[in-house]
Chains A and B, each alone.
Chain A
């Protein structure tokens, strides 16, 4: 241990940054977690390298600059495979998920991976994608620093950035974006409010939070897709095809909403310099199978995402590069815990019975063919720094499930409908769940709905519960969600968004209508606790509470798969649908 070097690295840092360094020094978090945590907290790469060196475990990957390396993240391409010679020019065509035209190309209100992919070509995030698949200073912010308790964060903006119409990008644009996010509660409820952001100069943004938050940069990063930075005068509801703008590398040339096809050309004024490709075409496919066939036939160069079930052949194709970005993706079963009133799923014992009945191993081995891991009914992925591994895995136990049903007064079973969208392998999972539930006497035939319809109609539909006369409440965002259904969630590097939007009371994606003051309190503690150990303790409590209350049955986390022809290099993807082509080349 080199204490001199460690002390120099600590000097002048905020309390939360120092705590992260000390957590690593004391062995509370491993090297990988320290780098991730340090990145989130805005510790520069040279400083992290100094800490690693001081603690004696750094030499294999010493970062030398604030900018992350430009290696392609999350690829399974063999290291010794000769790379195609980078070439300037070329057009790339990509098959993507058909976006939800209800929201259109609206950066603030979009909900699907197809739209995320389209809009993130022209718009950029404050915090971008790092080479390791985490977050990094690769977008509009060049660095960020918290105050001592992480209740105030200062972001330094990149200089010389221009909007595509030629006007300069300034801190006012960021502040307006943050205000709009707060106004529509884009996953930031209770974190900051509209009007709380200061702009001391054109390249500095100071965010004053409602309470300390150690994961704040993740909420304004690529992993909170609705945080794309738009011009200050960009009104919520405006769509990109009506007002073509952005600071990103690509300019939208055309968009056909009926086929969900967007064509982009390079932005000559992009701050990152010139790109290699001549054009990018993102083409919507209603059928994932057709997109895979189009890639196999080389009619397109890449597919945004494919499932093992549909695209297993791509995995065995030597001329297809499969990308596996970090993925906490999951397809969870939600239970409407409030409606129908006194209905079966309002009883936690019934929800637990379902969790005991679901055959997780079968889902992992058959639906995902091993490209997934078993989960334990909470959304905290084992790779998250705050994950508590001491919680016991819930086993499959049919007898226990039947006993719980009997205790709840449903010994003879009951009938319900399992609602799912027609996205990816969700119907396959639903078929397994239906069969599993039949074993304990629950008849839950699957109702498959087109995904574009599913979100508004069955998942987070209406505000029935809470707005009825007998309750007199203000209404819940997801009050009238189906009794039971399966919904898909993309990757996040921290569980904040899952907690805030899908589990916190009145969260706008809380299809379970989970309403727990205890959980809300723990979430508040989670956000405000900078200490790694304390944070893990709080997370452990949340894991156990969710397992007990069972608003959702999270049966597995699956690996997100994206593929492209091996003639294409340098594509960066996230498990949230983003595809970045700034460094891409086509041989």
Chain B
């Protein structure tokens, strides 16, 4: 069955300009994203309804009066039917109005908290990736070029060893061995208010290094594998035989092909980097989205929890879409495949 589809897709691709294919691809992916979002909405709506314990009791405290509990339950919307709760949540997503926080920061608009945390996470993620991606890709390229030498083994094994350390453990090690003895490195990821950009980056160095420790081996190995595959390809051999320099072969032929898996992986990891670095955020006392969501869970602040989870999910979807588009830009065959997806 796959062959006729592929053939028809090729015909379609031949007949239609690439711009149209790209537009169709984006529309299709956005449609799929909407379905994913709808499923997520249902799950997030159900959380307070099926989570153990009474959400109102958690928010109002153990000794709250029945009147206060009823008031909180009403405020949470838990007296409404599940479909009504779902509709209200969907409306919140499209209006970006999730109301006010109950307990993470009582009375504060939820989106203010989420935007602030998101900004902090974005700062850390962008800075970390600015360090992680070049170093990891370079490591992968070198390992592939020096395949089966001690350099290759050192890069692969060091990366593997570092990847096996959980990021929060890596964070603790960095605190103990760098932050405490060397004043240049900072314990706290968050710089004091009013700090300049350089000071802010100085505070982010150790969290970024912790991310590097976790991701270096992973990305380097993927890059290495892609590069080896590309190096052993016919077009690479032809390029070398044509007398192109190694640098030119890497730049013009190898890198573009070898990095496609790396880009795809980074796309899927970006969502995790935004919402999943809770341990690291705790170790470096950094107020990112991950710790905001955990606080919301701890304190049963469902408006904040819902907004945080949904925003991270949207980032995740946008990141994977962007990664696919970049891969398509890097690879003409992938562009052709867009129409057949």
Tell which of A257, A297, A460 touches B179, judged by Cβ atoms closer than 8 Å: A297
Complex-state Cα separation, A286 to B294, whole angstroms: 12
Binary interface encoding of chain B residues 82-125 relative to chain A, with 1 for a CB under 8 A from any of its CBs, else 0: 00000000000000000000011111100001001100000000
Complex-state Cα separation, A298 to B284, whole angstroms: 15
Contact partners of B295 in chain A: CB under 8 A: 101, 258, 452
Complex-state Cα separation, A457 to B58, whole angstroms: 6
Complex-state Cα separation, A65 to B244, whole angstroms: 93
Distance in Å: Cβ of B191 to nearest Cβ of chain A:
10
Complex-state Cα separation, A242 to B188, whole angstroms: 28
Contact partners of B261 in chain A: CB under 8 A: none
Distance in Å: Cβ of B95 to nearest Cβ of chain A:
23
Is there contact, CB below 8 Å, between B285 and A477? Answer: no
Contact partners of A257 in chain B: CB under 8 A: 104-106, 108
Contact partners of B282 in chain A: CB under 8 A: 286-287, 290
A259-B190, A293-B187, A299-B186 known; A285 and B285 CB under 8 Å?
Answer: yes
Complex-state Cα separation, A452 to B295, whole angstroms: 9
Most chain A beta carbons < 10 A, residue from B57, B61, B291: B61
Complex-state Cα separation, A109 to B107, whole angstroms: 17
Complex-state Cα separation, A349 to B108, whole angstroms: 50
Distance in Å: Cβ of A482 to nearest Cβ of chain B:
11
Q: Is A459 positioned at the interface, with any CB of B under 8 Å from its CB?
A: yes
Is there contact, CB below 8 Å, between A290 and B188? Answer: yes
Complex-state Cα separation, A459 to B62, whole angstroms: 8
Is there contact, CB below 8 Å, between B176 and A101? Answer: no
Is there contact, CB below 8 Å, between B187 and A290? Answer: yes
Q: Is A441 positioned at the interface, with any CB of B under 8 Å from its CB?
A: no
Tell which of B58, B116, B175, B186 touches A456, judged by Cβ atoms closer than 8 Å: B58
Complex-state Cα separation, A258 to B117, whole angstroms: 9
Complex-state Cα separation, A109 to B106, whole angstroms: 14
Is there contact, CB below 8 Å, between B62 and A455? Answer: yes
Distance in Å: Cβ of A339 to nearest Cβ of chain B:
14
Complex-state Cα separation, A239 to B295, whole angstroms: 20
Is there contact, CB below 8 Å, between B103 and A102? Answer: yes
Is there contact, CB below 8 Å, between A460 and B63? Answer: yes
Which residues 434-491 of A have a CB within 8 angstroms of B?
450, 452-453, 455-457, 459-463, 477-478, 480
A293-B180, A299-B188, A477-B63 known; A101 and B285 CB under 8 Å?
Answer: no
A259-B190, A290-B284 known; A297 and B58 CB under 8 Å?
Answer: no
Contact partners of A297 in chain B: CB under 8 A: 179-180, 183, 185-187
Contact partners of B185 in chain A: CB under 8 A: 297
A258-B105, A294-B188, A460-B62 known; A289 and B298 CB under 8 Å?
Answer: no
A293-B180, A462-B62 known; A457 and B105 CB under 8 Å?
Answer: no
Binary interface encoding of chain A residues 288-303 relative to chain B, with 1 for a CB under 8 A from any of its CBs, else 0: 0111011011110000
Complex-state Cα separation, A293 to B63, whole angstroms: 36
Complex-state Cα separation, A468 to B299, whole angstroms: 27
Q: Is B283 positioned at the interface, with any CB of A under 8 Å from its CB?
A: yes
Contact partners of B175 in chain A: CB under 8 A: 289-290, 293
Distance in Å: Cβ of A255 to nearest Cβ of chain B:
10
Binary interface encoding of chain B residues 267-310 relative to chain A, with 1 for a CB under 8 A from any of its CBs, else 0: 00000000000000011110100011001001100000000000
Distance in Å: Cβ of A289 to nearest Cβ of chain B:
7
Complex-state Cα separation, A239 to B107, whole angstroms: 11
A257-B106, A457-B62 known; A287 and B116 CB under 8 Å?
Answer: no
Binary interface encoding of chain B residues 58-74 relative to chain A, with 1 for a CB under 8 A from any of its CBs, else 0: 11111100000000000
Q: Is A103 positioned at the interface, with any CB of B under 8 Å from its CB?
A: yes
Closest to A109 in B: B61
A104-B106, A286-B291, A462-B57 known; A456 and B62 CB under 8 Å?
Answer: yes
Complex-state Cα separation, A297 to B202, whole angstroms: 14
Binary interface encoding of chain B residues 183-204 relative to chain A, with 1 for a CB under 8 A from any of its CBs, else 0: 1011110100000000000000
Q: Is A496 positioned at the interface, with any CB of B under 8 Å from its CB?
A: no
Complex-state Cα separation, A296 to B178, whole angstroms: 12
A interface: dominant SS: loop
Q: Is A508 positioned at the interface, with any CB of B under 8 Å from its CB?
A: yes
Complex-state Cα separation, A313 to B183, whole angstroms: 18
Q: Is B17 positioned at the interface, with any CB of A under 8 Å from its CB?
A: no
Q: Is B4 positioned at the interface, with any CB of A under 8 Å from its CB?
A: no
Complex-state Cα separation, A549 to B183, whole angstroms: 54
Closest to A476 in B: B63
Complex-state Cα separation, A316 to B108, whole angstroms: 43
Q: Is B53 positioned at the interface, with any CB of A under 8 Å from its CB?
A: yes
Q: Is B40 positioned at the interface, with any CB of A under 8 Å from its CB?
A: no
Q: Is B172 positioned at the interface, with any CB of A under 8 Å from its CB?
A: yes
Contact partners of A299 in chain B: CB under 8 A: 186-188
Is there contact, CB below 8 Å, between B298 and A453? Answer: yes
Distance in Å: Cβ of B24 to nearest Cβ of chain A:
42
Closest to B52 in A: A457
Is there contact, CB below 8 Å, between B180 and A461? Answer: no
Contact partners of A457 in chain B: CB under 8 A: 53, 57-58, 62
Which residues 503-520 of A have a CB within 8 angstroms of B?
508
Is there contact, CB below 8 Å, between A453 and B299? Answer: yes
Is there contact, CB below 8 Å, between A478 and B62? Answer: yes
Distance in Å: Cβ of B194 to nearest Cβ of chain A:
12
A287-B283, A453-B58 known; A102 and B176 CB under 8 Å?
Answer: no
Is there contact, CB below 8 Å, between B104 and A258? Answer: yes
Is there contact, CB below 8 Å, between A102 and B299? Answer: yes
A257-B104, A298-B183 known; A452 and B299 CB under 8 Å?
Answer: yes
Contact partners of A455 in chain B: CB under 8 A: 61-62
Is there contact, CB below 8 Å, between B57 and A456? Answer: yes
Distance in Å: Cβ of B296 to nearest Cβ of chain A:
10
Distance in Å: Cβ of B183 to nearest Cβ of chain A:
7
Tell which of A109, A290, A452, A462 touches B283, judged by Cβ atoms closer than 8 Å: A290
Is there contact, CB below 8 Å, between B292 and A102? Answer: no
Most chain B beta carbons < 10 A, residue from A103, A239, A291, A452: A452
Contact partners of A298 in chain B: CB under 8 A: 183
Contact partners of B104 in chain A: CB under 8 A: 101, 257-258
Which residues 60-79 of A have a CB within 8 angstroms of B?
none
Distance in Å: Cβ of B63 to nearest Cβ of chain A:
5
Is there contact, CB below 8 Å, between A286 and B285? Answer: yes
Contact partners of B103 in chain A: CB under 8 A: 101-102
- List 27 interface pairs A-B (beta carbons < 8 Å), by A numbering: A101-B106, A257-B104, A257-B108, A258-B117, A258-B292, A258-B295, A286-B282, A287-B283, A289-B172, A290-B284, A291-B285, A293-B175, A294-B285, A297-B180, A297-B183, A297-B185, A299-B187, A455-B62, A456-B60, A456-B61, A456-B62, A457-B53, A459-B62, A461-B57, A463-B63, A477-B63, A480-B62
Q: Which 9 A-B pairs have the closest CB atoms?
A: A257-B105, A294-B187, A461-B62, A450-B298, A456-B62, A460-B62, A293-B175, A296-B180, A453-B298
| A457-B58, A480-B62 given; 12 more Cβ-contact pairs under 8 Å | A102-B106, A258-B104, A258-B292, A258-B295, A259-B285, A290-B188, A290-B282, A293-B187, A297-B187, A452-B299, A456-B62, A463-B63
